[in-house]
Structure 1
Amino acid sequence: MKWETVSGYTCEKTGSKCSPLRTTKTPPPISTSKSMDHRSMMQSTNDLIPQNPENIPVPVPVSTSKYPFTITNGRLNPMAADFCHFRQSLSLCWSSVVFALEALEKLLRDFAVPLAKVSGERLVEFAHGWDSGWRKAGPRTGLLSVLENWEVVSGLVLRPGQRYRGEGGTEAAATHIQSCWRRYVARKAYLRHSRRKWAAETIAISWLMHTRKRCVRKALQARRVRQLENYRCRAQNLAANWKHIQSSKRTIIHIPSLGYSQRQRLNLRGFDVLQNKQINRLCDIRDSNVQVIYICPRHLGEDILDYYTSLLMRDGATDGTEKRTTGEASSCVSAFIILTPEAVDYFPTRNMCLSTLLKYSPHTLKRIKNLIQGKQAYIVGGVAHVDDLAVADELGVPILGPEPAVAQLYSTKSGGRRIFTGAEVDVPPGQADIYSLNQLHETLAELLTQNFDVQRWLFKIDSEHSGRGTAYCDICHLSCYKWALQEYHRHGPELWNTKWIQESVLLRYLDEIPEWLARHARPAKTSCYPNWARFRKTFLRQGGVVEAYPPSDSVTCLTVDLLLEPGGEVTMLSCGDQLHGSFQLEAIGSTVPQTSVHPETLHSICLRVGQACLQRLIVGYVSVDLATFLNHNTMEQKVWAINVDLTYSDQLAMTQMLLMMTGGTLNCRTGCLEVPMLIREKYCDHQIAAKPPVVNRYAVLGSRLFHSNLSMLYHNVFFMMCRAHGIGFNMKRKEGTVFALYDSSERCSIGMMTVSEDLQGALVTFARNLSVIHQEISSSKMQEETNFKELIKNIKDVLQMIVQNKLRAVKDKPAA
């Protein structure tokens, strides 16, 4: 046996557990909520099974304890009668109770409990469970469960700061304070370390990304410099061999790409259809030495492919009754190839320009390489883009066009005025390169002071196109205009050029111009810019031009297409008077050849503009817009150069179809469309066939016709409807109507060409066709979007003007 001393008394520790007491006990805490039967079963069978002290809830006393004793101030009095009675009753199992009793005493001392009443039975039960659990430290609630006044003691133990009032409280408080401080310092150091680590990782990743981007940027810059150098080298070879190339077999790679800025491309509806409106470039194959590879911005249906195949198999130079042989037909079909880049399927909504799509289409590039291998080839693009150089470098062929940087510089409205100024041609009164509001107001005040005959002023955004970025403001809304006009007439035109005389009017204009613009300036196309505030913001951000609208009620605009050959020659390819739609500044079509300006005058202007472009390293296809009107003061015709586009125009593409279908030639020097009329006669072997007679024809070309209801008709149904109304082309007489198709899915946009013996007949046929198509596909209950109505109205105005001019010519003709 072994004896141990506990709190001044001794006990004997046995090696075996004692049996539970055979007395009435308070129910154990774990079974207080159970029935009496279950409680008695637990007493008889599970007293020897150890219980987990953590699962013992705080008990509620049911009966008075048989062995109670008290602990005062955490100290047990071993001489107390109640404790001696409890000890004597449990002498056989005292060793298992000692450790629980010591733990209870320490708990009471630590929390300075003044009085604790212990239930002996509960202490024994708790000791049994604690001893069976290898004397692990029991929870505080388990020790308090052996007390009869557990509620009072528990409330005291749970009181904040009570631990530091008991035994060793000062040391415990110091230890707790030090641990909290160490935790705070460690936590702060950890957070600081984490922040520094995160910052270091962020800096390292950022620097790595910056380094990689810089390397990629340098590589791209080096690649673009190399592409530009290769472009210049190939351009020199193209210029040196241009005459030879034009007279020999060659392959033309047509890429009708619209290399606008990303903002412009994303704001254009049906961007792929817009790029495909020059599909008539295929008609270049009318030259037997030319093979065309046309890069299409969208997948074409079989209906369009069959249509253009049959169209291009016709020969306008032959009689319509003659048919091609099988060999001739196959050679004609092999003369053109239509390819669609595979990247079209990967970027359907990005509105990428065609050159970019082709750049990211390796399979299409590889096929083009195979097609042009060993042949003379060059690229004819659209609106210049930097990816044009990448495509040309990949294919190893030259580009018939200017450098992208040069094109971007001179294709703006301000750049066009610089070209016209260098060419010494007449331009509207105005000012270019405006970037601030004060500059706009001051420039406009000076222009108003010096040009009293101008009734409307135009504001053009530099980078916009097709009349989208144009606004106007009429001078009649300016309140001080009448007073300024009186001042002008009072001083006279000779004295008015003196600055001090203009000063009062200039200052008055400066005061009223801001309000005048805010209230009366209107964008020409509200779908692009809904109000003047939005337009002015873009105008000042991108720069623009202020210029006068021709001071006349009858203004005719015309477009001339030039080819600036690499060899230095300027060739006029097409010329036509514009036809407008809903507003005067957007051209929908044209009448070819033009009849508003004397051909020699027009040729002189275009030659000077072409030479000015060549001096600025601009080659390729250039489109020049002119405006002509009658000066009421001198009764002389004025011609103003108003715009230049360094690109292949829609009018030129339609002209190629015109020449393909008629087999004629457009002589811009004489202003005539000459068409040969073949006469089928039988000649003897010794007779020489007579040269076929040549007749003049006039054509109306419309490349931007739009009607939303056209999507309801498939192309074969549309052509059946046209044939039912007698709309078609007579190959024998070289007269009639030909359509241009752009897409198979939406089918809302088409092109149309009418050819007749005189201009009046071509206009009447064009207007009749539009009216018939509109009536067939429209009804009063349907809401359609179309430009047919406005175009018909403008054609009627032109026809009325033609009739008036004929009557005036008859009156002015002297009698014989």
Structure 2
Amino acid sequence: MATIESSILEEVSQFQQLQLALRDRWQSIEGSEDSDVDILVIPSLSIDQREMAKVEGCEHYEERLLFALIRLWNPRNRLIYVTSVPLHPSIIDYYLQLLPGIPFSHARNRLLLLSTYDASLKPLSQKILERPRLLNRIRQALRLDKSFMVCYNSTFLESELSVRLGVPLYAADPNLQIWGTKSGSRQIFAESGVPHPDGSERVWNATDLAEATAELWERQPSLQRCVVKLNEGISGEGNALFDFRPISQYAPSKATHEQRVAVIGDRFATMRFQASQETWANFSGRIPELGAIVEAFVEGEIKYSPSVQGRITPLGEVEILSTHDQILGGPDGQIYLGCRFPADESYRLQLQQMGLQVGRKLAEKGALERFGVDFITVKNADGKWDIQAIEINLRKGGTTHPFMTLKLLTNGRYDLSTGLFYSQQGRAKYYIATDNLQKDRYRGLLPNDLMDIIAHHRLHFDTGTETGTVFHLMGCLSQFGKLGLTSIGDSPQQAEDIYNKVVKVLDEETSNKAHDFSWFSNNTFPMNWDGFSC
């Protein structure tokens, strides 16, 4: 046992020593014009695989980090991208053709694509570690003194991979991932003075969950609903909504605490689960493994779900990168579908300030690289916004790839004073993005079919005007009828028009199929930019 513990401590020390090298390589990592680095992209979704399986087409989500290929615009940078199964060649060609001023062949020669040829339901990082020859090939292809590794999220699989390869990982130490869980987020909010809903600490069984729910109701007798969350659920798929109104006869003034706990425990099976196939039997079985929390559901007639994204550099600096208004769906609007950039101007600067408070507290804990904070905003009768933080993501989330695509394509800058993003030409940029444009009629479209449609209808991103659509998750299209895209414009309306044109064209091109459904009615987004009225 002592030998095993010693080995683990030695590996942790090696990982931390490797991360110290990021400070010296920061200028190259940042992407300066003199950048000369090897970037190892490991897009492993190293999260609970049963939770991940709730996301349709999750096996193709390794494609979401393909925006990193745009880093090849610098003629000295080299990039290795590893996936579970090989990527379709036309998908790679699509991204490389986005590079302004770089010959396609030159960029392609600096890109190495590798695959484990393993479609099983386990994290990519684990698959790589199980293949010593593949590990060796990656190591031999890298200039170790000029390399760094990026990932979707950081776990002990990624830290072991970092040590085995001798390449520093630009991500938070896995020991700090607790701060990206539901319970850890609540602790950070409390310590940083950021408003957040009343709720519980993490519990490990259904009995304690019922106890915590009853205590929450007793603290807030007028509470109508609460949210029960698996501690490590993703994209809202691990959430369930519990309604107190059908059991009002057990309210704090009308029944004993024991009666309240008992009836709440009995009614957990009737909760509204946000994942379509979820059941209480499965949900409750995950609590001893993942833990769970309960927190007050924020009610409101005019209510939105914005987020702020930031990063902590290897130098310990905290930077705000962007704000978004998230587009949510599911039974109770808790499933992430897409986003608009930037967030509404009436609260985006407040989001930035709260994001800085959270980021500084995370930096104190030793966190590194990206973080995102999700909020609920409710407009009060006086016209002011009540802003409540609900969770932290210590990973690359659904808002990461749209913003990084915009930044890398335009080489522009984010302005903290306005919360807007400006291209090098000084034009403010806006976009609508989604991972979830999904219709039955799109099933059977191959990546090459999509390329034909893009070319024929001129749906591509125009590097001259810096407007248009960038597509992703193209591997999901044929089997699941699912596609991701980021529609970029010089105004909110232009971005929306570009998005709607894409949907209209795809619908027309697949009109021979009878069954049709859309993730938004009428193929449009339900909010206008000014005031978000329907």
Task: Answer whether TM exceeds 0.5 for this pair.
Answer: yes
The reply to whether residue 227 of structure 1 matches residue 11 of structure 2 is yes
Alpha carbons of structure 1 residues 773 and 376: separation in structure 2 relative to 1, 3 Å: same
2:76 is aligned with 1:253:
no
> Which one of the candidate residues 336, 344, 353 is aligned to 1:587?
336
The aligned counterpart of 1:647 is: 395
In the TM superposition, residue 416 of structure 1 has moved relative to its aligned partner by: 1.4
Distance 1:606 1:703, change over 3 A: same
Structure 1 residue 761 corresponds to structure 2 residue 511: no
Q: Deviations over 1:97-143 (max 9, x none)?
A: xxxxxxxxxxxxxxxxxxxxxxxxxxxxxxxxxxxxxxxxxxxxxxx
Secondary structure of 2:237 counterpart? coil
What is the 5 A alignment of 1:111-150? none
SS of the equivalent of 1:367 reads helix
Of the structure 1 ranges 449-458 and 548-557, higher mean CA displacement relative to structure 2 is found in 449-458
Change (3 A) 1:444 1:631: farther
1:354/1:537 Cα in 2 relative to 1: closer, same or farther (>3 Å)?
closer
- Would you say 1:400 and 2:140 are equivalent positions? no
- Per the alignment, in what secondary structure is the counterpart of residue 547 of structure 1? strand
Structure 1 partner of 2:276: 526
TM-superposed CA distance for 1:539, in Å, is: 3.3
TM-score (norm 1): 0.59
- Which deviates the most, 622-631 or 601-610? 622-631
Matched, 1:295 2:64: no
Shift of 1:470: 0.6
Call closer, same or farther: CA 1:600–1:333 in 2, change over 3 Å: same
Following superposition, the deviation at residue 427 of structure 1 comes to: 0.8
Cα shift readout 1:146-192 (whole Å, capped 9, x = no counterpart): xxxxxxxxxxxxxxxxxxxxxxxxxxxxxxxxxxxxxxxxxxxxxxx
Q: What does residue 267 of structure 2 align with?
A: 517
Query: Is the contact made by 1:460 and 1:471 (CA closer than 8 Å) also made in structure 2?
Result: yes
Distance in 2 (CA, whole Å) between partners of 1:730 and 1:413 is: 40
Task: Flag structure 2 segments of 5+ consecutive residues without an equivalent.
Answer: none
Q: Distance in 1 between the 2:313 and 2:446 partners?
A: 41
Equivalent in 430, 439, 455 of residue 707 of structure 1: 439
Report what 1:617 is aligned to: 366
Match of 2:468 in 1: 736
Q: Give the Cα separation in 1 of the matches to 2:370 and 2:43.
A: 12
Task: Give how far 1:365 is off.
Answer: 2.8
Asked if 1:307 corresponds to 2:94, the answer is: yes
Q: Deviations over 1:74-119 (max 9, x none)?
A: xxxxxxxxxxxxxxxxxxxxxxxxxxxxxxxxxxxxxxxxxxxxxx
Residue identity over aligned pairs, in percent, reads 22
1:575 CA displacement: 2.2
Q: 1:266 deviation in Å?
A: 6.4
Counting only pairs closer than 5 Å after superposition, residues 557-576 of structure 1 correspond to structure 2 as 557-576=305-324
Confirm or deny: 8 A CA contact 1:277 1:742 kept in the other structure: no
Which of 468, 471, 474 aligns to 2:240? It is 471
**Structure 2: distance between partners of 1:235 and 1:769:** 42
Partner of 1:777: 510
- Partners of 1:330 and 1:657 lie apart in 2 by 21
Structure 1 equivalent of residue 142 of structure 2: 372
Q: 1:731 deviation in Å?
A: 3.2
What SS is found at the alignment partner of 2:200?
strand
Contact kept? 1:474, 1:520, Cα under 8 Å: no
TM-score computed with the length of structure 2 as normaliser: 0.88
Which residue matches 1:749?
Answer: 482
Which secondary structure does the structure 1 equivalent of 2:526 belong to?
helix
Residues 265 and 288 of structure 1: CA distance in aligned 2, closer, same or farther (over 3 Å): same
Question: What is the correspondence of 1:592-671 to structure 2 with a 5 Å cutoff?
Answer: 592-595=341-344, 598-632=347-381, 635-671=383-419
Give 1:722 shift. 4.2
Residue of structure 1 aligned with 2:214, choices 414, 425, 445: 445
- State the shift of 1:591 in Å: 0.8
Return the alpha-carbon distance in structure 2 between the equivalents of residues 332 and 533 of structure 1: 51
Query: Max radius of gyration: which structure?
Result: 1
Give how far 1:475 is off.
Answer: 3.3
Q: How many residues align?
A: 529
Question: Which whole-Å CA distance do the structure 2 matches of 1:353 and 1:228 have between them?
Answer: 20
The 1-side partners of 2:423 and 2:463 are apart by 11
**Following the alignment from structure 1 to structure 2, what is the Cα–Cα distance between the partners of residues 715 and 406?**
38
| Shift of residue 284, structure 1, vs aligned partner | 3.0
**Secondary structure of 1:425's match?**
coil
State the one-letter code of the partner of 2:8: R
**CA apart distance, 1:664:** 2.8
Supply the distance in 1 between the matched residues of 2:289 and 2:81 (Cα, whole angstroms).
Answer: 37
- CA apart distance, 1:767: 3.2
CA distance in 2, matches of 1:603, 1:799: 22
1:179-198 alignment, distance < 5 Å: none
Q: Aligned partners of 1:555, 1:563: CA distance in 2, in Å?
A: 27
Matches for 1:493-508 after TM superposition, within 5 Å: 507=257
C-alpha displacement at 1:601, in angstroms? 1.6
Deviations 1:546-591 (A, max 9, x none): 1122220222112322211121111122321111233411212111
Mark the CA change 1:564 to 1:614 in structure 2 (over 3 Å): closer, same or farther.
Answer: same
Contact 1:456 1:549 in 2 (8 A): yes
How far the C-alpha of 1:263 sits from its partner, in A, is 4.3
- CA apart distance, 1:445: 2.7
Q: Is the 8 A contact 1:251 1:291 kept in 2?
A: yes
1:549 to 285, 294, 297: 297
Counterpart for residue 58 of structure 1:
none
